[in-house]
Structure 1
Amino acid sequence: MAGEAAHGLELVPVVAILAAGVMAVPIFKRLGLGSVLGYLAAGLVIGPFGFAVITHPETILHTAELGVVMFLFVIGLEMQPRRLWSLRTQIFGLGVLQVGTCAALLTGVGVLIGLPPLIALISGLGFVLTSTAIVFQVLEERGELSSPGGQKMVSVLLLEDLAIVPLLAFVAFMAPQAEDVTIAQRVTDIAIAVGAIAGLVIVGRFLLNPLFRILANARAREVMTAAALLVVLGSALAMDISGLSMAMGAFLAGVLLSESTFRHQLEADIEPFRGILLGLFFIAVGMSLDLTVIAANYGFIVLAVCVYMVIKFAGIYGIARLLRSNHPEAFERSVLMAQGGEFAFVLFAAAATAGIIDAEMNAILTTIVIISMILTPLAIIAMNRLMPRAEQSLDGVDVADGLSGTVLIIGFGRFAQLASQPLLARGVDVSIIDNDVEMIQAAARFGFKVYYGDGTRPDILHAAGAETARAILVCIDNPEDALKIAEHVKSHCPLSQLYVRAFDRGHALKLVKIGVDYQIRETLESALAFGEQALIALGVDPEEAAELVAETRQRDLERFELQITGGMMAGAELLQSNTDGPVPTPLTTPRRKTEALSEETAKIVETGQRAG
């Protein structure tokens, strides 16, 4: 029993870490504070200054550093030479200028607030590394990852991710024990390091792909996963033995495999380990926070947070304006990137291990970064409320006014571009409006004349000639706005034929209820054609495949009509939940079509009667 109890006690820290992370991360993400802060808070709660479930976090921190190693390997996999080359101007131009300027400013202000020069430099280099997790999350939520402003931020983040490797090497070089090394030893160390890098490049270039090809032919998935871990940990070990950082080895291995045909397989195999270990790293950082040190230095910490964020904001804004970004773009970039980031913890931990900073200073600097990360979501909320949304410039764009086309198209995305082609080929007089200036300018380059106008406004519809148009085609991809436009058209332009692009089945039913003349779900016909080709590829005779698709189309139409007449919206919502999925029925061969349809009809009518 004692042995069992001992073994049971060994699981307590593991269960505590998992439970803390599982509970804290969803709460923090729900609050808009991000998963990183959730992990840090979880570590603080179960660490020595919380419930003291774990009293020696440094033992976990050493293991958790493998998460950073794997993270850098994944970053290396994304750093294909072609991608780096396409973003070279922004990465190595904007990125270097912003990082270099902000690092110099932060180092200077660190000295001014009382830090020794070397510690001020380490602090500035750490704080200049922005939180990739926070910025990427915000850009993704806003759909701005591919926008010009978003691409600039992504480029700077890529440079910062790359910069952590030489920064870790710099920390090792600046370690106090390095001062006692003779020139001969230094030359030997450099030779060993260069040899290790060269060896890693040779192995990655000539051996890894054949190795993974052999393993793939063996069709042993667990061996492929083990090989992926071997590559990451082996390259990290090689660099560690040669005196360089493990992170550098993992990053180089990732870059060498970035063009490999096995890149996606490797990333998929490493991802679970990377996510768990990186989360464990942040939990260990949270456990390592010394609250007594923080309480004793809270005045300095508050001062440093305020000064560092303001100085970094000013540096980013100044560089953005210098490179001719407009004020809203520069201001937004400065707010999003004014905090420290995850890699600062890595840099500070390396500096503490090397003896450049002590445990107390490590706790102070880590706390400064954490508080800046906590303040960032609040700063973004304040920015969104205080700064009005930038109005689109209409330079070179004509506003819809006095149009009188036979057909009015509202929205000119992919759907409308295809729908308009037969009309234009027939010589129909078409007027087109859209409220996206970039789309209008792009269409102009291909010879399309598109006017600026918001179709949800009745006055814009009037100016666009909706009252005299024979047909109005609503082709926008926003279901709510499409319904609003349809209601306006039916009220103010009753003589115009109204054709609307529907998003899904529920949206189509609402459009029918409004009284549109024609609606079609945007994916219906393409999905049916897709399925038809899949049947042919499986060996079904083309005529039979076409017949099956025609029956599916007819069945869908009959089901749609029954939902309108039998149960209306209540039944439709119960059956479809606003999706385009079919009602489960035994659809097998044409012979059973009538039977299947009768069963389906009974289900729909019965459900509609119960619901309505």
Structure 2
Amino acid sequence: MALPINSDAFSDALVILGAAGLVIPAFARARVNPVIGFILVGMLVGPAGLGALSGRFPWLYHITISSPHAIEPFAEFGIILLLFSIGLELSFRRLWSMRTDVFGLGAAELVVSAGLIGGALFLLGQEPAGAMGLGLALALSSTALVLPIAGMRSAVGKAAFAMLLFEDLALVPIIFLLGALAPMSADAGWDGLVRTLLIGVATVAGMMVLGRLLLPRLFAQAARTKSPELFLAASLLVVILASVATTAAGLSPIVGALLAGILIAETDYHTEVEAMTAPFRGLALGVFLITVGMSLDLRLIAGSWVPLATAVVGVVIAKTVVTAVLLRLRGATRGLAAEVGLLMASPSETTLIVLAAAAQAQLIQASTASFWQIVTALGLTITPLLARVGSDLSKRAERNVKTELPEASTDTERTVIIGCGRVGRLVAQMLDAHKQPYVAIEADVDAVAHARMRGYNAQYGDIVRPGMLERLQLETAKALVLTMDDPVQLVRITRKVRLMHPALTIVARARDPNHAAELYRAGVTDAVPETLESSLQLSEAVLVDLGVAMGPVIASIHTKRAELRSKIMEMGAVDHEPPIQRRRLSDLAADPVVE
């Protein structure tokens, strides 16, 4: 059945698509954060904005949202897709390695923040059960905003994700806990909590087993058809079925979406799935932010701005202090602790769910819930601003803190290794074996702690931060080794270091011959492409296993390595390669051993 062109749903859809396709690029050109842009659009076209005038000016009907509840399902779907995309970047091995952070740091952050906020509200006259409900609701932080801002690969993103993951897992127990505290609940709430947890565990276990068995076959069949539409349909089907399954079990649909992403991440098709669903995730998240903006009534805010501002500032300060102190106790730097604390300081989209549950359980009055819903919306609105302030404070703190380099930092025999991952650690082992002093600089606090426990000379430092290169005292270093798995940053750092230190030996890890050629143009002394080295090592192993003498094999490998490196350096010395030379680079990457 065709959708009537004058229906509310059709009008709302046009407004949403117009905001995404026209208004947000305009904000981007004006260098306004898209998150703030979506929220401002919601305020402008929502019922409290121009929508309130549609009765007097009928033409506004077509550019305003007449029913804010009509797009709430789209907003929920946006959160589901976001959690699904997060799951695609995880794996069961990575989750297991994060268990201490998730259930240690994450649990401590939620409990302490909720206790501090709830205790303050109790002292201000709120009933104990209501204060607990409000404390738990306001202690939650926004997964939908924090992770897109911080990412998941940075030190800030990793610390935030551990806490956010625990909050997402704790959402359902929190809701059932509030139901158990309801005046009329008796013992039904506790029984329901235990029953739901048991059913939920069984459901998740069943999904894990079925997912590992069925998903590889499902996506293999979709891939064989070479139909992008079928692949996309299969991806969305998995997300929807997983969310429906966890919802039927009494859990949150976001748990199912997260698990679906993790299961697909274990297959060979996760990259394709992530690329397919990215546009839908961004649009759906924008719809959610528009609903946040529509909940803000500027007239109501103007009339109660003092208590609202006080509440927002109080929540932000409490959560910032708790998060920063916990991170400092775990060994994080002051800059990192401040940045993560401010990023996690605002309430969450799930805060609205917990507030509704607390009101339904009669733990708080409806007017109290409405007040804190406005506080939550304001907090979500200022999240990008808090992130910017946190980033600036972090840079300032790191700039003012002297990097604690070892005594060898003033020694000309020192080698500086940037990155203390598997490649950096192996380089450090070889330097140590030949009694060559070194220091490894790593931006991940946990990686630094882990490396130090294993005996590596590792120090914390983010090479991209202003002033960090100067503090490394590269003028006294013998060599610089770049091991990060970030092609763009490798080239940028190489150019900057080469300008500062023309005579310094710079050895860099390259992803492939094309990247190696780019690094040579940037000024590295040597670039080591991973694809070439793995092929050479494979050739060496095959020849030795076939019975060829080790001496001639090693000599031929060295000859081939020098030949290939010479070709890459020759291509890297050309700023604008002609088509024929560019083709030779591609051939070299595809078959580095046999010409």
TM-score bracket for the superposition, by shorter chain length = 0.5 to 0.7
Give, in angstroms, the shift of residue 126 of structure 1. Answer: 2.5
> 2:379 corresponds to which residue?
369
Give, in angstroms, the shift of residue 218 of structure 1. Answer: 3.9
**AA partner of residue 18 (structure 1):** L
> 1:380 corresponds to which residue?
390
- Choose from 386, 399, 403 the match for 2:408: 399
Q: Please identify, of 526-535 and 247-256, the stretch whose mean Cα deviation from structure 2 is larger.
A: 526-535
- Choose from 191, 200, 203 the match for 1:200: 203
> 2:61 corresponds to which residue?
none
The percent of aligned pairs where both chains have the same amino acid is: 26
> 2:498 corresponds to which residue?
483
- Provide Cα deviations, 1:515-545, integer angstroms capped at 9, x if missing partner: xxxx64514x655567899999xxxxxxxx9
**AA partner of residue 312 (structure 1):** K
> 1:601 corresponds to which residue?
none
Contact 1:409 1:474 in 2 (8 A): yes
- SS state of the match for residue 6, structure 1? coil
> 1:568 corresponds to which residue?
none
1:61-140 alignment to 2 at 5 Å? 61-72=72-83, 82-113=93-124, 120-132=131-143, 135-136=146-147, 139-140=150-151
Structure 2 distance, partners of 1:91, 1:42, is 35
> 2:527 corresponds to which residue?
522
Contact 2:335 2:395 in 1 (8 A): no
**AA partner of residue 408 (structure 2):** V
Give, in angstroms, the shift of residue 588 of structure 1. Answer: 11
1:390-539 alignment to 2 at 5 Å? 391=401, 394=404, 397-401=406-410, 411=417, 473=479, 475=481, 478-487=493-502, 489=503, 500-501=506-507, 508=520, 520=525, 522-523=527-528
Give, in angstroms, the shift of residue 480 of structure 1. Answer: 3.5
> 1:41 corresponds to which residue?
40
**AA partner of residue 494 (structure 2):** P
Unaligned runs of 5+ in 2: 52-63, 462-466, 483-489, 509-514, 541-556, 589-595
Q: Please identify, of 7-16 and 331-340, the stretch whose mean Cα deviation from structure 2 is larger.
A: 7-16
Structure 2 distance, partners of 1:321, 1:550, is 48
Q: TM-score, normalised by structure 2?
A: 0.67
The structure with the larger Rg is 1
Give, in angstroms, the shift of residue 108 of structure 1. Answer: 2.4
Give, in angstroms, the shift of residue 313 of structure 1. Answer: 2.6
- SS state of the match for residue 408, structure 2? coil
Contact 2:480 2:505 in 1 (8 A): yes
Structure 1 distance, partners of 2:331, 2:585, is 61
Does residue 157 (structure 1) correspond to residue 167 (structure 2)? The answer is no
Structure 1 distance, partners of 2:560, 2:39, is 56
Structure 1 distance, partners of 2:81, 2:136, is 22
**AA partner of residue 407 (structure 2):** D
- SS state of the match for residue 38, structure 2? helix
Give, in angstroms, the shift of residue 37 of structure 1. Answer: 3.3
Give, in angstroms, the shift of residue 98 of structure 1. Answer: 2.0
1:530-549 alignment to 2 at 5 Å? none
In structure 2, the CA distance between the partners of 1:531 and 1:68, relative to structure 1 (3 Å rule), is same
Unaligned runs of 5+ in 1: 465-471, 490-497, 512-518, 537-544, 564-571, 591-612
> 2:487 corresponds to which residue?
none
> 1:515 corresponds to which residue?
none
Give, in angstroms, the shift of residue 172 of structure 1. Answer: 5.6
In structure 2, the CA distance between the partners of 1:90 and 1:441, relative to structure 1 (3 Å rule), is closer
Does residue 215 (structure 1) correspond to residue 240 (structure 2)? The answer is no
Contact 2:141 2:164 in 1 (8 A): yes
Contact 2:171 2:252 in 1 (8 A): no
Q: Provide the aligned C-alpha RMSD in A.
A: 5.5
In structure 2, the CA distance between the partners of 1:263 and 1:352, relative to structure 1 (3 Å rule), is farther
**AA partner of residue 61 (structure 1):** E
Structure 1 distance, partners of 2:327, 2:457, is 34
1:209-248 alignment to 2 at 5 Å? 209-212=212-215, 215-216=218-219, 218-219=221-222, 222=229, 225-237=232-244, 240=247, 244=250, 246-247=252-253
